[in-house]
Each structure stands twice: as structure tokens, then as C-alpha cells.
Amino acid sequence: MDIKPILFCVLVCFCVVQPQDPRFTLKQVVILSRHGLRTPLSKYLSEMTPKAWPSWKEKPGYLTAKGKVLEGYMGKFFSAWLSQKGLLPKTCPSEENFYVYANTKQRTLASALAFVGKAFPKCNITIHHSNSDVDPIFNPVIHNSSAIFREIVIEDMQEQLKALSLNASYKDLDMILDFKNSEICKNDHKCNLATDKNKAYVMSGEKPNLNGPLKIANSVVDAFVMQYYEGFPLNNVAWGHLETQEEWQTLMCLSRSYHNIIFNTSLVAKDIAQPLIKFMTNIFLNDSVPKISLLMGHDANMYTVLNSLNFKPYMLENQYELSPVSGKIVFQKWYDNVKKVELLRIHFVYQSYTQLRDCLELSLENPPQFRLLELNECTVDKNGFCLWSDFVEILQRLETDV
């Protein structure tokens, strides 16, 4: 499966605040979430341009104060939405109703805390997490140590690199950065993003990666996106060079291509997502688990789960990213009271770039964006439902394949 932006793929967006049809009863929800708005990850941005970067208050990769507010808006909305659907009690929920598990990174733990703090104010909600510094459930690293696996994956990544056509994107980024005067150009003599070589890197126990211009581009574009969401003055976002949707989309091709190459081959995705898929499968198939589970992770978790479960290509309206900050894949188990059958419906719930940048509060009257997602092996009906039994078969087959 390819998560590249597919312009010809049109999906139906369902209204989420309409009165519930009594024929269908919501039984369970599993929310796989990306953490909220953070500072840029790369510590080497200063080497990529002679220009001065805007400063941030928080450390690299940390949830920002605004990110906490925005994630809190999501929490408050989900509390109202799930209460409307009859899945939450009017009092503080017990762990039979609501369970939270977060990765150990500051931005994931802080995001989970912000979500539950606004979803259930004055309630004592436990945020479960690993006691180790690195949680194997969320850690996006290669598990297969065989030489054959490594050779196949690297060959696949290299073939994808050859097929890219990003000269226009590189040219724009080169101009924005003044890359020829960067420290990288001066010290490493690699001065042309469009012609410098990318090298695939795959090693057991480590995240698949690239060395070269595409990794540089992804780090820079990530910084621009976070600046925009954070609400930096537009003349401080990419130094004022991103004024139109077309300019943004041209640069976003670089970020999407980077994520496609490192996460989007089926072998890599299934290998990386194996612990998380197993964790989620235990929730899906266990009748005694909580009605609502929130799993707070990263975009890498989103990409690899989407690929592993073989979702159809999708696009998100009013967004630059395919897995935006605070975005959530919401798996919903429904029951058809007429046909007496269990059903599955999946939405990608996210804030638009305007909702993020303008810090717009969410409510049932002003909801986040909902995008229906579809699995290739679970055909949906006109209401966006597919058979839960088909989903169970997918999970069981995936566990056998791995």
C-alpha cells in the first residue's frame, strides 16, 4: 500500500454530530493518536542554511505550550462526542470505560496528559507507559536481523529513490535555504539537493533511514510545518517564502517521499508495526477490555499501522500532512441491532491547518475534520461500515504472516 497523496481518490466525509441512528450502537473505540504540536526534531538545522532560525521556548522534540492546548481541545471534543454516542458515563470513567497507554517520550506523555486533562477534568486518569526509556510497542525500529531481509528492503528503497521526481521541490527548498552557503555545503562539499545522492540505511534495532538530501529536506520541511502550526508570524515561517498552497504542496512532496521510502514498504511496515499491531489486536479481540482505549504514539506508528493493515490511499482535506500532529485513527466497533451483526468503521480525525494555526477550540458544533478510511480487504457499505468479522480475519492473518 502506498500512502502518497492520491489526487484521484475521493472519499466520503461523514457528519459526526448528527443524531445517532438507533439501529446502530457504538460498542468500542480504539484511538491510535499522534502526539500534539512539538518543536522541530533536528538538532542540525543551523548547518542547513546560513539564515537564522526562529527560536523556540521548548527543547527539540518537546510538546509546546500551544500543543498542550490543542491536544486538550481534542480531548474535550472526544469526551463530548463519545458521551453523545453513549460510550462514556456522566461521572469520571473507570479503566473499564477509558484506558490510556502512551509512549515514553516527553511529547507523547505530555500529549496524553493534555488530552485526559480536558476530556475528564478533576478526574484521576492513569496514563500507563513502559518503565523503560524506550517502549518496544511504539519504537519504530527494524526487528528482523537477517541479511536477506536487509538486502531486499535496501533494494526496494533504492528503487523508490530512483523513481522520484523532486527537482522542482528541491529547487524551491535550495532557494529558501540558500543551501550553497550552508555549513553542509562548505564542509561536506554537497551543495546541490537535486543531484546529491541519497543512501538507504537499514539495521536491526534501529529506525530505517536515509542519509542525503531527502533527509535534510524532511528535517527542514518539518521545521516549517511546526512553525506554521505554532503561529509564528508568516515572515518567520520559511523566512516568508511560503505564501501559497502551491508552494506548500511542492515542499510537502519532499516530506511525503521521505516517509514513503523509510516506512511504506510492506516488509518494513509489518516488521516495525508488529508489536503495536499485536497490542492493538489484543484490545480488539478481548471482550473484557475497556470500551475506549487511547494509544498515544508518533506518525511512524500511524504510517506503519496503515500500511500493515492494507488501508486504501487517502487524502486529508485542509491539511498539508498525511499524519498531522494530534491526528487520530479511530477504530469503532458498532452493533447492527436489526441484522444482529458487529461492524467496523474507521475515521481519521484531525485538526485542519487553520484549526491548528488559529488555535480554534473544538466542540460538537465546531468539530475537527473527519475522514472515512477504508481497508482494501473489508468492503464498506453506504454508511461506511464493513463487517467486524472481516477485520478479525485481517488481524489473524497478519499475525500468522508475521
Q: Give the residue numbers annotated as catalytic, written as ranges.
A: 35, 299
* Integer Cα distance of 31 and 11 in angstroms: 20
Measured in residues, the chain has a length of 402
Helix axes 299-308, 266-284, angle to 10 degrees: 90
* Grid cell listed for 332: 469503532
φ, ψ for residue 172, nearest 5 deg: -65, -45
Q: Taking the CA atoms of 320, 323, 326 and 329 in sequence, report the sign of the dihedral they define.
A: positive
Give Dmax (Cα) for the chain. 70
φ, ψ for residue 210, nearest 5 deg: -130, 145
* Whether the Cβ atoms of residue 238 and residue 53 lie closer than 8 Å to each other: no
384, amino acid identity: G
* Integer Cα distance of 354 and 358 in angstroms: 6
Place of cell 543551501: 179
Distance (Å) of CA 180 to CA 175, 183, 223, 237, 322: 9, 9, 19, 20, 30
H or E element at residue 128:
strand 127-128
